Amino acid sequence: MATNNTTVPHPEIPVDIGVSLLTLIEAALIIAGMIVLGRLMRRFILRKSKETTLTWIINEDTADIIFRMFVLGGIIWALYLLGIMSYEIWNTTVGNIAFAIGFFYFAYLIAKKSKDYMIASSGKEARPDVMVKAKVFYYIFLTVAFFLALNFAGVSGELSAVLAAIGITGIVLGFAAQTVVSNFVSGVFMYFDKPLSIGDQVQIGELEGVVEDIRILSTRIRAWDGTLIRIPNEKLFNSNIVNFMRYPVRRVDVDMGISYSADAEKAIRIIKDVLDGIPLVLAEPEPLVYVNELSDSAVMIAIRAWAPSEKWFDVRTRIIRDVKKALDEAGIEIPFPQRVNWFANELRVKVEESGEREERA
């Protein structure tokens, strides 16, 4: 009887998985070495930040960014060594995608740091103007970094299609959000025009108040009654803006009437003496007091005095109060409106004595 010595082949278990133990150790050493180098570089930058005046670029934030770059670079290097970065995905490699993501991430950190520095270094006065500039720089920087990252990712062939799609989407969104776009553009134009600053007392059309905040799409005004008014930048840009705080001094205009029987020259001398006694009334430009108009009921005297812009209201109220008091003490009448009525026919008035009315009763 024949014996069948044919053996059935068994599937072999693969022993080599493509990565040797030595390669794993080498990759781990690379990551550890880059972490150590990153820490050393971070300490070096922190030490230099205390010795230099360029703290806007050599500081703790910069040290953290450099440390992250070393760590991420070590991880990518180790993955390349292990062969993982060579895998193909969507006509590109994992390495290209990882590099593009890392590039965009650090571009975001740099853009954010630059924006924060521009805003922080502007100070309180220039902050509203620099705010718009910083945001425009931030978004433009990120947009450029995004398209560069797409190129690094190996999708430059599809970049034209992406740009075309973005262009079409932009047109559609532009028609759908015309108000938003116009407000944004107006906000950019206002940055160059610089009509307002936070804290200014302004009049915009029929609205008056203090500027609380200037944003990329709208401006917020706190009215005199304490209410908040939000004005779209498009409307603000096309409105007549009166800025009461633009210049350091502002003129106080007061018109006051005296009776026709009063001595106008004496009243002018009294008013000038009152102005000389108010410390916040500026000597230069010199205050003006003169007869301005002969109205129906009074001789109108114009008072024109200059005061610091932030003290304008206080100076105006004090001028009115002190001038009224000084004219009253001098016996100069401030008349109320008077009218003389003429009748075509003579009026006859019958007056009866109280005693006669009692007798008739």
Domains and CATH numbers, the chain: 21-176 (no CATH), 184-243 (2.30.30.60), 249-329 (3.30.70.100)
Give the CB-side neighbour count of residue 144, counting CA atoms within 13 A.
Answer: 8
Which pair of structure tokens corresponds to residue 21?
Answer: 């133990």
Average pLDDT per block of 10 residues along the chain, 361 residues long: 46 49 83 87 80 68 79 80 73 76 82 76 58 76 82 64 62 58 71 78 88 83 89 83 88 92 92 92 91 89 93 92 92 78 70 58 48
The pTM for the full model equals 0.48
Q: Yes or no: say if 119 and 134 are a contact pair by the CB < 8 Å rule.
A: yes
What pLDDT, on the 0 to 100 scale, is given for residue 12?
Answer: 43
What pLDDT, on the 0 to 100 scale, is given for residue 307?
Answer: 93
What pLDDT, on the 0 to 100 scale, is given for residue 82?
Answer: 77
Instruction: Write down how long the chain is.
Output: 361
Please give the Cα distance from 311 to 286 (Å, whole number): 17
From the number of C-beta atoms within 10 Å of its C-beta (0-12, 13-18, 19+), residue 335 rates as: middle
Q: Yes or no: say if 309 and 322 are a contact pair by the CB < 8 Å rule.
A: no
Q: Inter-axis angle of helices 60-82 and 21-49, to 10 degrees?
A: 170
| DSSP 3-state of 55 | coil
What pLDDT, on the 0 to 100 scale, is given for residue 3?
Answer: 46
What pLDDT, on the 0 to 100 scale, is given for residue 2?
Answer: 44
Which of 223, 280, 278, 271 is closest to 250 using CA atoms?
280
Please give the Cα distance from 24 to 195 (Å, whole number): 63
Q: Which amino acid, 268? A: I
Which of 330, 263, 250 is closest to 301 using CA atoms?
263
Angle in degrees, CA 278, 282, 288, rounded to 5: 90
DSSP string, 68-79: HHHHHHHHHHHH
